[in-house]
Structure 1
Amino acid sequence: MDVLISVFVGLHIIGIAALLGGFLSQMKAMGAGTARFVPGMLHGALTMLVTGVALVGFREMDGGGLNHIKIGVKLAVLFVVLALVYVKRDEERIEKGLFGAVGGLTIANIFIALLWH
């Protein structure tokens, strides 16, 4: 079970990297007002959702303790990010505030995972 959990943690990190990498690659375009949600951002958010839900299930099956409030907050933040990226994925230009919100919420989700014990 430990190997399976480690594989899914790795996949979860890859999803975070895709979402955050897509955001960071558009920072210059955001300054110019031409930023858009690239497909990798949507795929990264979906990867985070699927692997995160799987990790919760694996931890529950393994008998490990979970902070369900923390998981709920992370899931809510991810749903907001996923909804924004999904709805606006075909638009040529995304407003700076909306684009920045996706990046900020992604970074917030990372720090929630790391700092909330």
Structure 2
Amino acid sequence: MDVLINVFVALHIIGIASLLGGFLTQMKSMSTGTARFNKAMLHGALTMLVTGVALVGLNQADDQTVNNIKVGIKLAVLVVILAVVYVKRDDETAPKPLFGAVGGLTVANIFIATLWT
């Protein structure tokens, strides 16, 4: 079971890397007002959602303790990110405040995951 959990953790990290990487590659475009939500961001957020739910299930099945408040907050933040990226994915440009909010929420999700013990 530990190997399976570690595989899903790795996939979850790949998802966050895709979401954050998609944001970071658009940072220069954000200053000129031409940034847009790309497919890497959408697929990264979806990967995080699927693997995160699987991780909670696998950890509970393995009788490990799961901090449901932490998981709930991370899920709420991710749902907001996913909703914004999904709705605005076909727009030519993303508004600066909205694009910045997605980046900020992504970083906040990383800090919640790593610093909340």
Smaller-chain TM-score range?
Answer: over 0.9
Aligned to 1:89: 89
Cα deviation 1:71-95 (Å, max 9, x = unaligned) = 0000000000000000000000101
> How large is the Cα RMSD of the aligned pairs?
0.3
1:74 — aligned with what? 74
2: CA distance, partners of 1:67 / 1:10: 20
Q: How far has the Cα of 1:97 moved from its partner?
A: 0.3
For residue 47 of structure 1, what is the amino acid of its counterpart?
T
Report the 3-state secondary structure (helix = DSSP H, G, I; strand = E; otherwise coil) of the residue aligned with 2:90.
coil
Q: TM-score, normalised by structure 1?
A: 0.99
Aligned to 2:109: 109
What letter matches 1:60 in structure 2? Q
**Which SS does the other structure have where 2:64 is aligned?**
coil
Q: Percent identity?
A: 73
Write the distance in 1 (CA, Å) between the matches of 2:79 and 2:38: 17
Gaps of 5+ in 1: none
Q: For 1:10 and 1:66, locate their aligned partners in 2 and report how far apart those are by CA, in whole Å.
A: 18
Q: Distance in 1 between matches of 2:22 and 2:74?
A: 20
TM-score, L = length of structure 2: 0.99
Shift of 1:43: 0.2
Give the superposition deviation at 1:27. 0.1
SS of alignment partner, residue 5 of structure 2: helix
The alignment covers a number of residue pairs equal to: 117
What CA deviation, in whole Å up to 9, does each residue of 1:28-83 have, x standing for no partner? 00000000001010000000000000000000000000110000000000000000
